[in-house]
Structures are given as C-alpha cells and as structure tokens.
Structure 1
Amino acid sequence: MTPAPLKIAIASFAHVHAAGYAAELLRRPGVEVLASDPDGASAPDDAPRGIELAAGLGVDYVDTYDELFAWGPDAIVVTTENARHRSVVERAAAAGVHVLCEKPLATTLDDAEAMVAACEAAGVLLMVAYPVRFAPQFDALRARLDAGVLGEPFAIVGTNNGKIPDSRAWFTDPELAGGGSLVDHVVHCADLIDALTDGLPARTVYAVSNRLLHAERGVAAETGGLATITYENGLIATIDCSWSQPSGAPNWGGVSLEVSGTLGSMRIDPFAERVAGYRQDGALWMGYATDTDALMLDRFLGAVRDVLGGEGSAVPQPDGRVGIRTLQIVDAARRSAREGRPVAVTPVAEAAR
C-alpha cells in the first residue's frame, strides 16, 4: 500500500533559505508542498516574495496562514523573520503540526522557552535548522573526538564569515532579526560545539562587535564581531562572526571549526570543496560539497514519517533545547558587546534544559 503524501507547509519566504528548502522539497516523491507569505507585501526590500516567488519556484500558494493551516499539514518549515518564529511555532503546536524552525530559534530567551514548552506539551517535533552539523566533515571530526583520538578538548576556534544578506533587509533590522552578525553567524558554530560536547552548558561570554563593514549602507546592526565562550568544564571557544565576504565574491562565505585537544588538533572547512578560477567577468566558483540542507531535511522528514507511522517519537537533533542553549550564547554575546565586559550566561527554566 502506497503511503499518503507527506504534506509540508512553508511559512514565509522571508529567510534566504526558504527558496532552497522549497526547491528541495519539491524534488522529493511523496511530498506535497504549500506555502504562504502574508508579510511579503510589506517587506522593506524589492526581492521577490509572496505569490511572485512561489510562482517562480513552482510552489502552490495561499494568501494567509489561516488557509495554510486549514490545509492540514503534517509538518511546517518556519522561515519567517526571526522575531515572528514564536507565533507560527505556537500555532503549529496547537494544531499538532511538527516543526522545522530556522535559526536562531527566537530573538529572546523567553520566546524560545515558550516555543519549546508549547511543542513539548503538544507532543510535536521541534527541530532547529542547523544544516552544517550534517556535513560529512563534521561527522568525521565528531567520530575522532568520540574515539579519543584528539584527547580532551580544551580550545575550539570557529569562523563563520559571509556576505551581508541584503536581499532581505530585515536581516539588518535589530528588532526583526534580534541583532546582526552576532545573531546570524555565532549560532552555527555554537551548534557544532554543542553537538561535540553533548550540550555542555556555557558559563560566560565575552564579545566585541562593530559596524565598520557596510557603513556606507547605514546598517543599524553589528556587521562584525568576535565572541569568546567559557564552558562549564573550562573549555574555551572563540567564534569569529562577520558579514565580511565581498558582495562580488563568487560564493556566500564559509564555516570552519578547529578543535584542539590534549593529544592533537583537527580542523574542518565543510564548504571548501570547490573548483575555483577566473573568467573575463570575474571569479569562478563551482562547489561540490555535500548538500547539507538536503541531509537536514532527510532527518526531519524521516522523523515526521516515523511519528505519523507510530514507529518513533524521538525529536530529531538539533532540537528546541539545542536552540535554547545556542540562543543563550547569542543573548550573552549581545549583552557583553553592549556592556563591554564578560557576562554570565542567563540560565533557563529547568523544563527547557
């Protein structure tokens, strides 16, 4: 017997990853996709949104979230502006719809805790979109660390430097995004460290930031920064986060992570696999790295199918609690950069640990 198609809703085209997720979902057999982007018409930029973008992608579209939820989706991909995650996730939980939410989970810890609580109370999956942890290079690093090849890790250096996401102006709006590059780029490395350390709590963060990059655009949010994190066991990590990739660069940027242990060190650069060169009109970049978005969607859709089939209930990683822990680091980094001193990471409710 052929199983019923999996119905996946896409809430908003605000995030730059929304179009890629939609295209990937459309390629999959046994998946139906419906999108809605009610805030697209009021977006502060000219990039395609709403029905225009849906038509270009070949995605079925409805005008309101009421219509989207009336369709009866099995799961929803939340790609709204960061500040609007909570309202959609709580609505999905109330409707019994499983959730894949873009990072960061929210702009405030209160919102993140409420989202996790709502999904746990409703018994729906809540996964956070951290695709880099699905890179084969990260799997290799984690395997060697788990096997003791590197010894006990004592320092980690992460970088996440990319282009300013100016095709979506809300990314540089501190209210809608929660901040700038500290928010957009610290979380990816924080998630990788969280996975390597099995959720080791962070204790203090010392961060600095500036708006030297893209000053001519009058960007209100920070465009570059550096965060130093001290964890419960003394592990120290630094994360270099910026929108420093030139707008004319042939790719968006990259992520790297280097782990130093008592027996050795190992560095990964998951997006470095490419053929590069030059043409008369500029640089050439042909990447052939594994599509981590596809691997992440594999994990999420597989978990949803298992739950619907009565074969599983475990929340796929990274889950909402990972989202809270990584947001704790971002929240501390924002406060530290504002106050000019190291700050303690704000604890969360025991239910969300």
Structure 2
Amino acid sequence: MNKLKIGMISFAHGHAFSYLNSLVSMPEVEVAGIADEVKSRVEAVAVKHGIPYFEDYRELLSKDLDAVVICSENVRHAELTIAAAQAGKHVLCEKPLGISKREMEEMIAACKENGVQLMTAFPCRYLPAVVQAKQAVERGEIGEIVAIKGTNRGSFPGGWFADKALSGGGAVLDHTVHVMDLMHWFLGAEVQEVYAYATTVFQEQNIDDAGMVHVKFDNGVFAVLDPSWSRNRSFPTWGDVTMEIVGTRGVLSVDAFAQKNDVYSVQAGKGEWSYWGDNMDEYLVRSFVEALRHGKPVPITGEDGMKAAAVALAAYESAAQGQPVRL
C-alpha cells in the first residue's frame, strides 16, 4: 500500500505541532507540505523534517495529496475545509469545527459533495481514563446515566484566542466542545436545551473567560459543564478534563489527566504536573490515517463537531437572553 500523503494548513493553533510530530513518526505517512502565511511559525519544523513550505494554502492544495490537517484560527476553518474538499482532499479539522451552524453545514456538505471525509479533532476521546469509563458504562457498571458534571478548565491562551474576530468566541466556545463531545458520545443522545452563563472574570480582555453551561438531553439526562479559562500562571498545568457520571447504580469519576508525576522545580519556580499517560493526539491522528488507508469512515465526524459547537453557540445565546434556549 502506498504512503498516505498529508499536508498541513496553518500552525496558528498549537496542536498542529503535536499532530505533526505524530504524523512524521508514522512510516505509512508522508507529510507532503506545510502551508502557513506566517513563515516564521513553521520554518524550523519544515527544515527539521525536510517538508516543502508554501505561503499560500491553495498552492499546497494543488499538489498530489490525499488529505490535509487544518489548525488555523477558528474563523478560517470553513474557508479552508471547503477549499480542501473542492480539491478532493480529506480533512482533519481542529475544533471547534466552525463558528456558526450555517458554515458548519456548508463544510459537511462540501465534503460529501466531493466524496471526501471530514473528521473533527476531538483527541479527548482517546484519553485512557475516558476510554475505560466508556467501556464501564457500556458494561452497565453504573446502570443508566442520570446526570453528568464536567469540567474543561484551562489557562488563558492569549493571542488570537482572545480576539473574537478570529476565534468566534472565548472560553465557552473553546472549551465547551471537548467535554460536550464526550457527553454526546457517552449518551448517544442529542442536547435539547441549553441554559448558560458567560462573562469576563479573570482577564482584562473583552471576551468571555468564564462560564457555566447547563444542558438537557433528549433522553432526559441533565449535565453541567465548567469551560472557564480559570487556571492562573501558578497552577501546575494548563487545565483539566473531568467528568462525574451519575448512574442509577453508581457514580463514575473521570480525571483524564491523572496519569502524572508531581514535579517541584526550582527552575520553574512552582510545582508542575508531568503527564506520563498515552498521547491522545497521536491516537487521534492515527485513527484518521487508518480510516483513510483502509477506506473506513472516520471515527469522529463533521456532524459530531457541529453538534458540540452548536451547544457552545446556543450557550452564548442563552447567556445574552438570560434564559434557556432550545436547539
């Protein structure tokens, strides 16, 4: 079987570097090009791995590629995905999939019309604690799920994330989507109603950095999620992914980054967490590659990405109105 030729478009989102490291470690993959209008952002990795560089992503898309990985600013996801689809390339797109339901529908439609697959980057599905919890739920160990309490608290990312013109939203958009996808995945149900709070608490920026998102699923399950950028510089790591899953026969606690060592570094000047668990980004990228190589459906679809992002967008609507919003 020939190598899968993959290009990368934009390293605006830092996950691009992790995805690249995973791709170059796979003998069945050839990273055939990197496109980024900011050459300094990618020059070192392009030279290190001998990967052709393109300033214009359209030039990269004209090359002989099977797929692309898109890690641009959120507002460019739709433009880049649609262009890739029209060029006949499969797409792995960083989350959130888009910043409006309409553009996400257009992204999904463009991929279907051009016979290519669209996968949303939700690496949290590959965290060991999450995988084991999903298996425990499927075995019926806690009975039927009644409610879920989740967190995806992080540190303030700065840069374009704090510019709504480029990000489309702050913490509520950035961090709702990961754990909301996990909730959708665990429940196999759709969110019916959203009631949310979103405001600025921790930073002097004109963008939401704090929120609480309450949802009701169509199967009757209730859930609440804290997606705030509430971890300051003294916190040991960037954030967390947790879930308390309440069932009719028990409660399951998921601390996705608990596989860590505590490090007390004089150089760092604070305690730090050194994560030693499996690399979720590598599993994500590998699952994308394997699906394309074997002609199988990607495991996390564009529709999955749209469902999660739609909840975050409804959360902003609810916060503005001060009342629940139905999806």
Q: TM-score under structure 2 normalisation?
A: 0.95
Name the residue aligned to 2:57.
65
**Cα distance in 2 for residues equivalent to 1:57 and 1:182:** 36
Within 5 Å, give how 1:149-228 maps onto structure 2: 149-166=141-158, 169-198=159-188, 200-215=189-204, 219-228=205-214
Match of 2:19 among 16, 21, 26: 21
The answer (yes or no) to whether the contact 1:22–1:57 under 8 Å persists in 2 is no
| Rounded Cα–Cα distance in structure 2 between residues aligned with 1:58 and 1:244 | 39
One-letter amino acid of the structure 2 residue matched with residue 325 of structure 1: K
Which residue among 97, 100, 104 is the counterpart of 1:112?
A: 104
Alignment of 1:261-300 (within 5 A): 261-281=247-267, 282=269, 283-300=271-288
User: Aligned pair 1:333/2:315, yes or no?
Assistant: yes
Please state how far the C-alpha of 1:288 moved relative to its aligned partner.
0.4
Residue 322 of structure 1 aligns to which amino acid in structure 2? D
1:83 paired residue among 52, 72, 75:
75
Kept after mapping to 1: 8 A contact 2:11/2:42:
yes
1:94 aligns with 2:86: yes
Greater Cα offset, 143-152 or 260-269: 143-152
What fraction of aligned residue pairs are identical, expressed as a percent? 36
Aligned partner letter, 1:87: E
Instruction: Give the stretch that moved more between structures: 331-340 or 57-66.
Output: 57-66
- Hey, what does 1:144 align to over in structure 2? 136
How big is the shift at 1:25?
A: 1.1
Write out per-residue CA displacement over residues 37-91 of structure 1, whole angstroms, 9 at most, x where no aligned residue: 12x37xxxxxx52435644676431111122112221110011111101111111
When the two chains are superposed, the root-mean-square deviation of aligned CA atoms in Å is 1.6
> What CA distance in whole angstroms lies between the structure 2 residues aligned with 1:58 and 1:23?
13
Cα offset, 1:256, TM superposition: 0.5
What is the CA–CA distance in structure 1 between the aligned matches of 2:323 and 2:112, rounded to whole Å? 36
Measure the CA separation in 2 of the matches of 1:15 and 1:178: 14
Q: For 2:48 and 2:203, locate their aligned partners in 1 and report how far apart those are by CA, in whole Å.
A: 30
Q: CA deviation at 1:248?
A: 4.2
Instruction: Show the counterpart of 2:303.
Output: 321
Contact 1:78–1:102 under 8 Å retained in 2: yes
Aligned residues: 324
Cα distance, 1:100 vs. partner?
0.4
Distance 1:221 1:58, change over 3 A: farther
CA distance in 1, matches of 2:111, 2:305: 13
2:53 and 2:145 map into 1 onto residues whose CA distance is 48
Structure 1 residue runs without a partner (length 5+): 42-47, 346-353
Amino acid at match of 1:338: A
Q: Output the CA distance in 1 between the equivalents of 2:17 and 2:108.
A: 26
Q: Distance in 2 between matches of 1:143 and 1:241?
A: 25
Tell me, yes or no, if the aligned pair for 1:254 and 1:272 is still in contact at 8 Å: no
Partner of 1:8: 6
Whether the 8 Å CA contact 1:206–1:343 is kept in 2: the answer is: yes
1:239: Cα distance to partner?
0.5
In the other structure, the counterpart of 1:44 is: none
Displacement of 1:230? 0.6
Which segments of 5 or more consecutive residues in structure 2 lack a partner in the other structure?
Answer: none
Between the aligned partners of 1:142 and 1:20, the Cα distance in structure 2 is: 25
- 1:207 is displaced (CA, Å) by 0.6
Alpha-carbon contact 1:229-1:236 (below 8 Å) kept: yes
Structure-to-structure mapping, 1:127-138, within 5 angstroms: 127-138=119-130
Q: Is the 8 A contact 2:6 2:67 kept in 1?
A: yes
Larger deviation, residues 50-59 vs 227-236: 50-59
Task: Decide whether the 8 Å contact of 2:237 with 2:272 is kept in 1.
Answer: no
Residue 5 of structure 1 and its aligned partner are, at CA, apart by: 2.1
Structure 2 CA distance for aligned equivalents of residues 340 and 284 of structure 1:
38
Instruction: Write the distance in 1 (CA, Å) between the matches of 2:282 and 2:221.
Output: 32
2:289 aligns with 301
Q: Residue 162 of structure 1 aligns to a residue in which SS?
A: coil
Deviations 1:223-270 (A, max 9, x none): 011100011121101000111112244422110011101111101111
User: Conserved in 2, the CA contact under 8 Å of 1:22 and 1:59?
Assistant: no
CA distance in 1 between counterparts of 2:15 and 2:148 reads: 27
Q: Is the 8 A contact 1:211 1:223 kept in 2?
A: yes
SS state at 1:140 partner: helix
SS of alignment partner, residue 49 of structure 1: helix
Indicate if the aligned counterparts of 2:261 and 2:275 stay in contact, CA closer than 8 A.
yes
